[in-house]
Amino acid sequence: MDLKNKKVMVTGAGGFIGSQLTEQLLAMGCTVTAVVHYNSFNRWGWLDTVNPGESASRLTIFPGDIRDPNGMLTAMQDCEVVFHLAALIGIPYSYHSPDVYVDTNVKGTLNILQAARQLGVKRIIHTSTSEVYGTAQFVPITELHPVNPQSPYAATKASADFLALTFFRSFETPVVVVRPFNTYGPRQSARAIIPTIITQILAGKKTLTLGSVTPTRDLNFVKDTARGFIKAAESETALGEVVNLGSNYEISVSDLVNKIATQMGAKITVKSADERIRPEKSEVERLWADNQKAKALFGWSPQYTLDAGLKETINWFGTSGNMAYYKPDIYNI
């Protein structure tokens, strides 16, 4: 499917990945309905910082809530492709507020699937997460790895994945489940490890306060992840499939800290705070993606090296005004 000139919808368009996916879709010539979480301040998340330029006439902002089936049905009118990214994603927050994760991640996904089925949408790209695998039982992790969620967040995402796949199998709803590993880059929340490190260094801290530094992660630059969503939507061979988006490379949090500090010319030490450490059986100790399926089905592989992606990320955080969005003295769950 050629997305150029197609009308598409992006849920979670005001978020970290969603805003950058929206930019890429507009640059391709798509007409985009960007669903942002309704709020009384009329704020559009990171889309407030995006200048669409000549493509502004092809961008429609739809303030709404994926928990509202009528609103999603209205937003989806005439759209041929839906990129479903909206979700609650903070793992620590899911420990004490799991109910809202079920409402948003499971019921919200059901609303998207029901609307898409009713309207005859040609493609739904559903966003999964590598967290559904839990700690790697073998590496690199293929799509055949057991699903073993270790947090309420991961459990709701796994449930949403299975809902999406059953709609494909039961109703032939044209779904692709895209499973990104750890995405990073400009605009990311400080609930994630890389912004946590960078913002504390930029704030002048010599001792960084983090959680566990032994887990490993497979890191993708956000532009690569967004491009993977687009490639999945264009593919005619990915329908009904689960597809990893990963770098096929793992790095420990400890080594990641040292790499970032070196790039930033900072001499730091690290201390672990109890409030930032997940319960022992909930911590995902190892993630390392096999990305061969994405290459085979739609020719996707990362274009950014970790060093290049970190450089661009650090530069963005260091750009005048961007640190105003962050509170490095506060633990962001």
pLDDT tens digits for 181-199?
999 999 999 999 999 999 9
pLDDT of 16: 98
Q: Quick one: which of 264, 8, 244, 297 has its CA closest to 128?
A: 244
Cα dihedral sign for 148, 150, 151, 153?
negative
Fold: same for 7-181+220-248+288-302 and 189-217+251-285+304-333:
no
Q: Please report, rounded to a whole number, the percentage of residues in the chain having pLDDT higher than 70.
A: 100
- Cα(55)–Cα(52) distance, rounded to whole angstroms? 5
Closest CA relative to residue 8, chosen from 172, 182, 239, 27: 27
User: What is the topology classification, in CATH, of domain 7-181+220-248+288-302?
Assistant: Rossmann fold (3.40.50)
Dihedral over Cα of 231, 233, 234, 238: its sign: positive
Check residue 142 and give its pLDDT.
98
Question: Average of pLDDT values for 230-245?
Answer: 98
Pairwise CA distance, residues 142 & 241, whole Å: 12
Residue 189: per-residue pLDDT: 97
**What angle (nearest 5°) sits at the alpha carbon of residue 10, between those of residues 301 and 293?**
25
Helix extents (H) in 172-270: 193-202, 222-234, 253-264
Greater model confidence, 167 or 333? 167
User: What integer is the mean pLDDT of 53-73?
Assistant: 97
- Domain 189-217+251-285+304-333, CATH among 3.90.25.10, 3.40.50.300, 3.40.50.261, 3.10.150.10: 3.90.25.10
Per-residue confidence (pLDDT) for residue 105, from 0 to 100? 98
pLDDT at 318: 97
pLDDT band at 79 (very low <50, low <70, confident <90, very high): very high
pTM value is: 0.98
**What percent of the chain has pLDDT above 90?**
99
**Which residues are CB-neighbours of 70 under 8 A, at least 6 positions away?**
none
Mean pLDDT over 79-94 rounds to 98
Average pLDDT of 274-283? Answer: 96
Question: What is the average pLDDT score of the chain?
Answer: 97
- Summarize the confidence of residues 150-155 as an average pLDDT: 98
Dist CA 317 CA 196 (whole Å) = 11
SS3 216: strand
> What is the predicted pLDDT for the residue at 255?
98
The domain limits of the chain are: 7-181+220-248+288-302, 189-217+251-285+304-333
